[in-house]
Chains A and B, each alone.
Chain A
């Protein structure tokens, strides 16, 4: 047995749904002692997401949890087991529920609890994870459709029983027999993400490119595909969907697989650090000035190297220090918002940014509270000597997308279809995005 109990809690720690794979005593222990203690633990953090995901709870239990949107998924274990297994399972539960129900919240989960229970009992058997693959689950638990629900409720006539789900027992558990499509299509999306930290002087502190190969398959029968890439050698850590024949990749450097039907992630990869020349598609500069209590940040954005394509969905987020007030923004291109939460932040949006755009500038001005300044100089007679960085915004987070551009220059060389004789329509897209892209001032 791996997991004793699984809880889905709302953000205030109340149980929305729970399932147990243990004896009565442990069930009572979990719901009467462990979950309340866990809730208290979560609340002890100013920001809930700072709570450690693996927590040694009372009564010899360990609480392992993830937080996704409005929900907390909690697994309680009382044995020496790998926490990653539980984390991956919880993540799998979240993904499966999202695929079945759509937008997850306390309300939607309660509305669809019969589906949630059916899913949980297929995904976990006596505390061991059995499957988290949604293409397998779809064969076991019917997807609730709004239309079905409405017709049933209004007319009282059930239509849910007509299409009985069937188990797939072939040697390719991810693909059912006898799939038919009128148009046979296969789409490949290569999405690459740049994680970078750029210093104030423009030097790149850390730089990392990782990517996903997402596919959408609408193919009939049992197609066997062979996908060849132009530079497989630059991918230094590749993780594949279970359908891929790993030996073939190891020996020949091509990806051979029988695809699942519908959308799936074929592979995720990391680009070898020595193979990527640290290309930045966008440059964001900042100059900061301070004058008495006023602080000014001038931001400018420019297209970097991205194959001459425009940069889309540019978003620059600047968190401001807690002492900031009276925030004013001047914006020469795009739009902006100022939000006042626990700390304020300014967000700057541009739909597209083209090479040579000179006018993309944003000026943020704010004042810092007098008390903050005097605290920093407590006991110091010369206020001029203050150069505290605490009241100046430190960095900006940049988000962007470049369509049709692959930063690692990985391209699809060919896609071959075997075992089936029909004509196949292929499509390949490349997108480069910002992962965690941080610019320091």
Chain B
């Protein structure tokens, strides 16, 4: 009884609530309607503001269309702009009602105030409604010939919008031709807008034949560019990317006229100019000019690095590409790339990459000291990348190896968990690169047996122990203790490393190693669940029992020298990215056809599967092929191993 009363009450309450809400909702629009028709100007003005405010937060105010339109005829520019904004938003859903506004538009397009003329013509274009086109043609003609450049530049942009709606209307009325003529306008803003409009129309047209750059136009644009504001300069510079100079003389001339653009405060102007220089310098052969271009490019690139971090990031990604074309370009500026503690992490990663790339044999020492500082920072990913950079330097320059090892040993002494793991892997790579050069340090590494708790680091240490078993005093004990936890080991990489180490130890000192190797092989073949590990153990066992000399030849074979992993892009991709320097593709480092939908369709690229096919070397997938610790560390990929039997690779 009680329950049902409560339930009916709740139901009643809910109905009431819904009604009130509906009334409120209806109420607001109703109230706005009254206000919009108020006799007081200020109340109407405030009402328009509220309508737009509601529109922007997503409330439906389309029902007020006619009431809003009534206020359109006003001297108040702010209100006019707001109403135009309203129209742009709802025109597509109510194209018939838009016709009601046409009269005001046409009248505004002849207003004495150039701002209002421009506003009217811009808005009519933005409405994107075909019904408007017929009414737009006359005012657009007039505005294209307007005495005021602000109106002309707006009209020029409007032509592109007309073209988008109907190519025929734009062509037949001679609008496109007017835009081409606007390239010779006396005002630079009109010129740069004409360039933007032509590029846009060219992209839309089916045969891309709206305009073609010729030497004459290029000359005109290069003159206009000096007068342009930054955005106009960008528009012009970007069109020049598609131009191929006729001869060397012309290329030289263009480059020299571009050089002053490097001194612009806007990073985009600078980077687009660098892109153009890199493109045109292919046609230039005079060594003194080329040297001058390179010299002029450096300071602005460096200056980009003192901008906001977001701009730094884009600059660094691009510098990384530029350096693959001009490896020596920034070698004197290495200190600029030193990481700052408060750089965002994405800037730090890019700087590390650039640092290793531009480091020459001469300045390895200061860089190694610097990397040591980074390795003490808090961010673990950054630390492991810094340590990796140390080993990359050592692998690249033999003279740096000793200092690198000293730094790594100092870092090991901190015994901070994540540092120890990265350092061990790094040491393995260096020892593998310079076999028999640093035997004396191996014994000291045994101190860290209990500290290596990452599988990769453990496999690295075990590999070192196996390789240098003769230099370690109590090798037998250490390997035995590793062997005791063999079955608890979760990572098969460590298990494989341990079997390999045991076999190497046995082959080098059969007396001491015999029990150990037997135990290792026995455990692996009888108790291990992983078939790879079992198979490896079987192979060794048979090899050892059938022919110890063959086993020696296999297990203790001279290993191919490891090289620095291939961090460069493939030449084909590099060429593509240099051409697109400064664009999204050069920042994401994948070609545009992989992420721009329309391009992808054209190129017939299967979505999402294209990346590896495009020649982006995926280091991990190559590394996964090699089982042994030396092969699977990220710095130790050796391409020459491909196609050889697996057992050989694995040592």
A: which residues have CB within 8 A of B? 1, 17-18, 24, 49-54, 56, 60, 62, 65-66, 77-85, 87-88, 91, 110, 113-114, 117-118, 121, 125-126, 128-133, 136, 140, 142, 152, 156-158, 160-161, 164-167, 169, 171, 173, 195, 197, 205-208, 210, 236-242, 246-247, 249-250, 265, 268, 270, 273, 321-322, 375-380, 385-390, 394-395, 397, 435-436, 438, 440
Question: Is there an interface contact between B451 and A83, defined as CB atoms closer than 8 Å?
Answer: no
Given contact pairs A53-B310, A118-B78, A322-B378, A270 touches B299 in the complex (Cβ within 8 A):
yes
Question: Is there an interface contact between A131 and B583, defined as CB atoms closer than 8 Å?
Answer: no
- Interface stretch, picked from B341-349, B518-526, B621-629, is B341-349
Question: Is there an interface contact between B230 and A242, defined as CB atoms closer than 8 Å?
Answer: yes
**Which residues of B sit under 8 angstroms from A385, Cβ to Cβ?**
415
**Which residues of B sit under 8 angstroms from A125, Cβ to Cβ?**
122, 154, 157
Closest-CB distance, A337 to chain B (whole angstroms): 18
**Which residues of B sit under 8 angstroms from A241, Cβ to Cβ?**
265
Given contact pairs A1-B200, A388-B415, A395-B341, A167 touches B115 in the complex (Cβ within 8 A):
yes
Question: Which B residue's beta carbon lies closest to that of A377?
Answer: B415
- B196 close to chain A: CB less than 8 A: yes
**Which residues of A sit under 8 angstroms from B212, Cβ to Cβ?**
none
Question: Is there an interface contact between A80 and B580, defined as CB atoms closer than 8 Å?
Answer: yes
> What are the interface flags for B261-289 relative to A under an 8 Å C-beta threshold, 1 for contact and 0 otherwise?
00111111011100000000000000000
Q: Can you report 13 A-B residue pairs in the complex whose CB atoms are below 8 A from each other?
A: A54-B587, A80-B584, A82-B272, A87-B268, A87-B308, A114-B82, A130-B231, A164-B113, A210-B306, A237-B263, A239-B263, A241-B265, A321-B378
Given contact pairs A166-B115, A206-B335, A376 touches B417 in the complex (Cβ within 8 A):
yes
* B42-73 residues at the A interface, CB under 8 angstroms: 42-43, 45, 49, 52-53, 56
Residue picked from A82, A125, A386, most chain B C-beta under 10 Å: A82
Question: Is there an interface contact between A56 and B588, defined as CB atoms closer than 8 Å?
Answer: yes
Question: Is there an interface contact between A80 and B42, defined as CB atoms closer than 8 Å?
Answer: no
**Which residues of A sit under 8 angstroms from B230, Cβ to Cβ?**
88, 132, 242
**Which residues of B sit under 8 angstroms from A79, Cβ to Cβ?**
584, 596
Question: Is there an interface contact between B311 and A87, defined as CB atoms closer than 8 Å?
Answer: yes
**Which residues of A sit under 8 angstroms from B587, Cβ to Cβ?**
54, 83
Question: Is there an interface contact between A66 and B310, defined as CB atoms closer than 8 Å?
Answer: yes
Question: Is there an interface contact between B583 and A129, defined as CB atoms closer than 8 Å?
Answer: no
**Which residues of A sit under 8 angstroms from B595, Cβ to Cβ?**
56, 60, 62
Q: Choose from A83, A117, A167 the contact partner of B82 (Cβ within 8 Å).
A: A117
Bound Cα distance from A66 to B373, whole angstroms: 29
Q: Choose from B310, B378, B415, B582 the contact partner of A82 (Cβ within 8 Å).
A: B582
- B490 close to chain A: CB less than 8 A: no
Bound Cα distance from A268 to B267, whole angstroms: 12
Question: Is there an interface contact between B596 and A379, defined as CB atoms closer than 8 Å?
Answer: no
**Which residues of A sit under 8 angstroms from B588, Cβ to Cβ?**
54, 56, 62
Bound Cα distance from A237 to B593, whole angstroms: 36
Bound Cα distance from A80 to B413, whole angstroms: 49
Closest-CB distance, A308 to chain B (whole angstroms): 28
Question: Is there an interface contact between B265 and A206, defined as CB atoms closer than 8 Å?
Answer: no
Bound Cα distance from A195 to B340, whole angstroms: 10
Question: Is there an interface contact between B77 and A165, defined as CB atoms closer than 8 Å?
Answer: yes
Bound Cα distance from A113 to B451, whole angstroms: 59
- B313 close to chain A: CB less than 8 A: yes
- B338 close to chain A: CB less than 8 A: yes
Q: Choose from A85, A133, A205 the contact partner of B335 (Cβ within 8 Å).
A: A205
Given contact pairs A1-B200, A210-B306, A436-B340, A53 touches B313 in the complex (Cβ within 8 A):
yes
Question: Is there an interface contact between A389 and B338, defined as CB atoms closer than 8 Å?
Answer: no
Question: Which A residue's beta carbon lies closest to that of B126?
Answer: A126
Question: Is there an interface contact between A438 and B56, defined as CB atoms closer than 8 Å?
Answer: no
**Which residues of A sit under 8 angstroms from B200, Cβ to Cβ?**
1, 126
Given contact pairs A60-B597, A206-B336, A132 touches B78 in the complex (Cβ within 8 A):
no
Closest-CB distance, A408 to chain B (whole angstroms): 15
Question: Is there an interface contact between B342 and A397, defined as CB atoms closer than 8 Å?
Answer: yes
**Which residues of B sit under 8 angstroms from A250, Cβ to Cβ?**
260
Question: Is there an interface contact between A114 and B416, defined as CB atoms closer than 8 Å?
Answer: no
Bound Cα distance from A383 to B365, whole angstroms: 32
**Which residues of B sit under 8 angstroms from A375, Cβ to Cβ?**
417
Given contact pairs A158-B45, A240-B263, A397-B342, A117 touches B582 in the complex (Cβ within 8 A):
no
Bound Cα distance from A1 to B52, whole angstroms: 25
Closest-CB distance, A315 to chain B (whole angstroms): 14
Bound Cα distance from A66 to B299, whole angstroms: 25
Question: Is there an interface contact between B592 and A157, defined as CB atoms closer than 8 Å?
Answer: no
Question: Is there an interface contact between B414 and A388, defined as CB atoms closer than 8 Å?
Answer: yes
- B134 close to chain A: CB less than 8 A: no
Question: Is there an interface contact between A239 and B265, defined as CB atoms closer than 8 Å?
Answer: yes
Question: Is there an interface contact between A81 and B299, defined as CB atoms closer than 8 Å?
Answer: no
* B285-336 residues at the A interface, CB under 8 angstroms: 299-300, 302-303, 306, 308-311, 313-315, 317, 333, 335-336
Question: Is there an interface contact between A126 and B157, defined as CB atoms closer than 8 Å?
Answer: yes
Q: Choose from A66, A142, A376, A440 the contact partner of B78 (Cβ within 8 Å).
A: A142
Question: Is there an interface contact between B584 and A83, defined as CB atoms closer than 8 Å?
Answer: yes
Report the tally of A-B residue pairs with Cβ distances under 8 A.
Answer: 252
Given contact pairs A210-B306, A440-B373, A239 touches B264 in the complex (Cβ within 8 A):
yes
**Which residues of B sit under 8 angstroms from A268, Cβ to Cβ?**
265, 303
Given contact pairs A56-B588, A114-B49, A210-B306, A438 touches B231 in the complex (Cβ within 8 A):
no
> What are the interface flags for B182-224 relative to A under an 8 Å C-beta threshold, 1 for contact and 0 otherwise?
0000010100010010001000000000000000000000000
Bound Cα distance from A171 to B415, whole angstroms: 67
Question: Is there an interface contact between B75 and A270, defined as CB atoms closer than 8 Å?
Answer: no
- B81 close to chain A: CB less than 8 A: yes
Bound Cα distance from A260 to B120, whole angstroms: 29
Question: Is there an interface contact between A270 and B113, defined as CB atoms closer than 8 Å?
Answer: no
- B649 close to chain A: CB less than 8 A: no
Residue picked from B187, B263, B338, most chain A C-beta under 10 Å: B263
Bound Cα distance from A166 to B344, whole angstroms: 43
Question: Is there an interface contact between A397 and B302, defined as CB atoms closer than 8 Å?
Answer: no
Closest-CB distance, B545 to chain A (whole angstroms): 38
- B450 close to chain A: CB less than 8 A: yes
Given contact pairs A128-B196, A390-B376, A84 touches B311 in the complex (Cβ within 8 A):
yes
Bound Cα distance from A441 to B62, whole angstroms: 65
Residue picked from B148, B342, B344, B366, most chain A C-beta under 10 Å: B344
Question: Is there an interface contact between B308 and A91, defined as CB atoms closer than 8 Å?
Answer: yes
Question: Which B residue's beta carbon lies closest to that of A24?
Answer: B92
Given contact pairs A80-B584, A117-B82, A376 touches B415 in the complex (Cβ within 8 A):
yes
Question: Which A residue's beta carbon lies closest to that of B117?
Answer: A167
**Which residues of B sit under 8 angstroms from A113, Cβ to Cβ?**
52-53, 56
Closest-CB distance, B56 to chain A (whole angstroms): 6
Closest-CB distance, B406 to chain A (whole angstroms): 16
* B550-603 residues at the A interface, CB under 8 angstroms: 580, 582-585, 587-588, 592, 595-597, 599-600
Question: Is there an interface contact between B150 and A169, defined as CB atoms closer than 8 Å?
Answer: yes
Question: Which A residue's beta carbon lies closest to that of B300?
Answer: A237
**Which residues of A sit under 8 angstroms from B196, Cβ to Cβ?**
128
New A-B contacts (17) at CB < 8 Å, excluding given A18-B56, A66-B310, A131-B229: A24-B92, A54-B588, A82-B272, A82-B582, A87-B310, A91-B311, A129-B231, A205-B335, A208-B306, A236-B299, A239-B264, A239-B270, A268-B265, A376-B415, A378-B450, A388-B415, A390-B414
Given contact pairs A54-B588, A83-B314, A161-B75, A173 touches B189 in the complex (Cβ within 8 A):
yes
**Which residues of A sit under 8 angstroms from B115, Cβ to Cβ?**
140, 165-167
- B646 close to chain A: CB less than 8 A: no
Question: Is there an interface contact between B43 and A156, defined as CB atoms closer than 8 Å?
Answer: yes
Bound Cα distance from A390 to B227, whole angstroms: 56
Bound Cα distance from A167 to B77, whole angstroms: 13
- B488 close to chain A: CB less than 8 A: no
**Which residues of A sit under 8 angstroms from B466, Cβ to Cβ?**
none
Question: Is there an interface contact between B267 and A128, defined as CB atoms closer than 8 Å?
Answer: no
**Which residues of A sit under 8 angstroms from B299, Cβ to Cβ?**
236-237, 270
Bound Cα distance from A79 to B204, whole angstroms: 13
Question: Is there an interface contact between B338 and A84, defined as CB atoms closer than 8 Å?
Answer: no
Q: Choose from B75, B160, B345, B415 the contact partner of A126 (Cβ within 8 Å).
A: B160
Nearest first, the 6 A-B pairs at minimum CB distance are A237-B299, A379-B450, A53-B310, A239-B265, A84-B268, A80-B592
